[in-house]
Amino acid sequence: MQLLRRCAAFLPGWYRALALLVLLAPHAWADGAGGVVARPRPWQIDLQPGYSPTMRDLIWLNDWIVTPIIVVIVALVAVLVGYALWRFNEKRNPVPSRITHNPPLEIAWTVIPALILIGMAIPSFRLVFFQNRTSDPYMTIDVTGHQWYWEYKYPGQGNLDFISSIIPANQLKPGQYRLLSVNHPLVLPVGKNIRVLQTSGDVIHSFFVPSLGMQRYAIPGQTIETWVRIDQPGTFYGECNQICGLNHHEMPIEVQAVPLPQFLAWAKLAAKEQAENGTVPPVSAVASVGTTGRAALSKVAEVTHRPVVSPGKGD
């Protein structure tokens, strides 16, 4: 398994190679200057690249277990149907056979698919348990779905608690994306195991960030756990993917991952600002905290969204 995994890192998935051939991939996933920008792309035919251990494993499962099995089954069924059309049409086979049962064949076509399913279930369940929780979280984030916005709480960071709403299409600034950018992104540190607890204040939502391999229902009255460890700085977009009412499409998720010192500085500043005047500064407010940067910090502590990374060059 480990060897196969190593090989997989060097060999592209067969359809990713196909995408390269049709010249989609080379520019499709270009990163921004200051970090990755993970979001859906025009003409995307593959999963988004993974930036967490969970998503990398999901991609591996998709590329090396699920897709090859699907390809073999589709090819086999296509060949069998083609052969049946050719061999048993009325002209070639005027008197059809009246056999209705063939026990060995029936046992085979029951047992073989069952074995395939068991073979797929083993790595799938391992991944489900892996995704389920982390034993060693650095911090916890509480995510609450509302009609139609997300609420993020940082219980370990002075009970910082803010609302993250979509930026309307007519108010987008350069580097922001329609139906994806929000006024207050979820800011997280890079390289730390983060426990994410989801719930809802009204109906069922779903917290879904594809490039981080996070997807969990947000259900009223329940708390559902997952976790994430983000590999590198960047901006990671997602959406509520449980149809939750009229403005379901207007509750995107924007995660900004920054180095730990920057996260800690931002969390401290944000908790202070929120307690004092109810505002939450963007993470870029602490991007260049130096010995003389303190005075400048208070000036930018306004409710504005400034991306921590520049927009991708390939966009």
> Which CB atom, from 167 or from 240, has the smaller least distance to Cu ion?
240
> Which CB atom, from 7 or from 243, has the smaller least distance to Cu ion?
243
131 Cβ partners below 8 Å, 6+ apart? 54, 213, 226, 227
Least distance in Å: CB of 150 to Cu ion?
Answer: 9
> Which CB atom, from 55 or from 251, has the smaller least distance to Cu ion?
251
Q: How many whole angstroms separate alpha carbon 51 and alpha carbon 34? A: 15
> What's phi and psi for 26, nearest 5 deg?
-55, -35
> Which CB atom, from 28 or from 163, has the smaller least distance to Cu ion?
163
Least distance in Å: CB of 44 to Cu ion?
Answer: 22
Least distance in Å: CB of 88 to Cu ion?
Answer: 51
Q: How many whole angstroms separate alpha carbon 28 and alpha carbon 42? A: 8
Q: How many whole angstroms separate alpha carbon 254 and alpha carbon 160? A: 17
Least distance in Å: CB of 306 to Cu ion?
Answer: 26
Least distance in Å: CB of 224 to Cu ion?
Answer: 14
Q: How many whole angstroms separate alpha carbon 107 and alpha carbon 175? A: 58
> Which CB atom, from 74 or from 243, has the smaller least distance to Cu ion?
243
> Which CB atom, from 214 or from 251, has the smaller least distance to Cu ion?
251
Kindly determine how many residues on this chain lie close enough to bind Cu ion according to the rule CB under 5 A. 4
Helix, strand, coil percentages in the chain from 3-state DSSP, rounded to 5: 40, 20, 40
157 Cβ partners below 8 Å, 6+ apart? 139, 267, 268, 270, 271
User: Per-residue DSSP letters for 181-222?
Assistant: -BSS-EEEETTS-EEEEEEESSS-EEEEEGGGTEEEEE-BT-
Least distance in Å: CB of 205 to Cu ion?
Answer: 3
Site string for Cu ion, 174-213 (x = CB under 5 A): -------------------------------x--------
Site string for Cu ion, 225-264 (x = CB under 5 A): ---------------x---x------x-------------
Least distance in Å: CB of 253 to Cu ion?
Answer: 10
> Which CB atom, from 197 or from 251, has the smaller least distance to Cu ion?
251
CA proximity to 192, closest of 230, 157, 226: 230
| Residue numbers at the binding site for Cu ion (CB under 5 A) | 205, 240, 244, 251
